[in-house]
Amino acid sequence: MRATRMRSLKRWSYFTLGIGCALVLVISGLGQEDEPPPADQPQEKPQQQREGPPPAAAVEFSPERNDMVTRTIEHPRDGRRAVKDKAVIAAMRQVPRHAFVPKNMRRRAYVDSPLPIGQGQTISQPYIVALMTELLELKPDSKVLEIGTGSGYQAAVLAHLTPHVYSIEIIKPLAERAKETLLEQGYKEVHTRHADGYFGWKEEAPFDAIIVTCAAGHLPPPLWDQLKPEGRIVIPIGGPYEVQRLVVVTKTTEGKRQSKTVISVRFVPMTGESRRSDKNDDKRP
């Protein structure tokens, strides 16, 4: 939520055009009969695709959105690592970021930078959203928890990768506004809650992946406890209003912790219980 980077008719599918989010129906096998699979091979279950945002929101600013994704995420020219996950790139092209920022900021929605969303918070730089999403390594059936709903933009991106998205926001006005925006944009599968994200969402645990979009001095123990074996947490670690480390923390099958620092970032701090317990240095990943 808050970061800036330091410098046939039987077989059909939808895909997004290079500009805009127009949908094209691809038809194959016209006039042919499908052969049944061999008896010893189970028939694959087709992967369901979400409907996505309403056409009006999807089309508006689509040239700017696609240009931003191409220049700053898919093919960055400033030495940053490119985001290569095609599903993540497709999600970034589809989610109307302008719908998740204040109206007076919409003309700047496709600049690759964070923007204020009120309550002293920001919507993250698009590149950071894409990078953190890629680092989660989500699968279509993954269950993911987001700490820091903010505007709801990150949750919307996640919803294009899995229908099992849970998001917590500690600031009530933001939580209410994000819930409303997500519903307006068609993201009904996203579950939101107003609560302290430090404690996670115990009733819905365990999770395959957890993304924390605010900086903490340490990895909150409840989040670690709610992570499945072989799951991963993407979290910025560091003090408030200083350079932090974007860290991927993986839980092995034996329950051990493995950590890897990806890049340096700046996020607004996690509040609530996290601020009260940040002095416990032995919890740092």
Separation CA 129–CA 84 (nearest Å): 13
Work out the average pLDDT over 35-57.
46
Encode pLDDT of 47-99 as tens digits: 445 655 554 566 789 999 999 999 999 999 888 899 999 999 999 999 999 99
pLDDT digits (tens, 9 = 90+) for 196-240: 999 999 999 999 999 999 999 999 999 999 999 999 999 999 988
Give the model confidence (pLDDT) of 101-131 as tens digits.
999 999 999 999 999 999 999 999 999 999 9
For the chain, domains (ranges, CATH) are: 3-29+51-283 (3.40.50.150)
Does residue 45 surpass a pLDDT of 80?
no
Cβ(223)–Cβ(147) below 8 Å: yes
Cα 140 from Cα 46, distance rounded (Å): 11
Q: What is the pLDDT of residue 78?
A: 84
Q: CB-based contacts of 64: which residues, under 8 Å, 6+ apart?
A: 109, 110
The reported pTM is: 0.80
Residues 6+ apart with CB under 8 A from 158: 91, 133, 136, 138, 144, 146, 165, 190, 211
**Residues 238-285: tens digit of each pLDDT:** 988 789 999 999 999 999 999 999 999 999 999 999 878 765 554 556
Q: So what's the pLDDT on residue 41? A: 42
Residue 14 — pLDDT band, cuts 50, 70, 90?
A: very low
Q: Residue 177 corresponds to which tokens in the numbers above?
A: 């506004």
- Of 15-19, 87-91, 139-143, 233-237, give the lowest mean pLDDT range: 15-19
> Which residues have a catalytic role annotated?
124
* Closest of 72, 70, 81 to residue 18, by C-alpha: 70
Instruction: Burial-class residue 82 by CB neighbours within 10 Å (0-12, 13-18, 19+).
Output: middle
Q: Looking at residue 6, what is its pLDDT?
A: 46
Predicted local confidence at residue 184, as pLDDT: 94
pLDDT score, position 236 = 97
Which pLDDT value is given to residue 285? 60
